[in-house]
Structure 1
Amino acid sequence: MWMQIWDQLWERHRGKTMGVIGGVLFGLIYLFFGLWKMLIFALIVYTGYYIGKKLDRNEPVFPAEETWRRLMDKWRMFR
């Protein structure tokens, strides 16, 4: 019986179901660990995702030459 209810929920309201599950998960994390620890954890996870995405695309993780060029272009007007 519960499997039928779950299957119908998943078929008809997949986004809402995932949203509620995600909300409950983040709510529990907030209750157990606190807001700031959760946000720092999310930032660390996103940083890992970003670095992994760059490595998958064979791009430099930190574009040092491009950053240096931008900084020099901005500071050139002060010389």
Structure 2
Amino acid sequence: MFWKEMWESHRGRVVGVAGGILFGFIYLIAGFWNMLFFALLVFIGYTFGKRKDLSQGALVHWREIGQWLSSGWRPFK
């Protein structure tokens, strides 16, 4: 019952951490620096999952950045 409630309320976080662990294990073979990179991947997965759970949208708004860059740059003058 606990896992079902956890899945329903924190689905994005669970998937994010699982993805981070999966990619971390792929990268994590041996060594201290690899362990730190593994922790970074798990943190990134958790962050993206949390943002999805809270419906906060994208972390980087690529469309706005593209519009800002294209507004100041005219290739055909």
User: TM-score normalised to the size of structure 1?
Assistant: 0.44
User: TM-score normalised to the size of structure 2?
Assistant: 0.45
- Report which of the two structures shows the higher radius of gyration computed on alpha carbons: 1
Which has the larger helix fraction?
Answer: 1
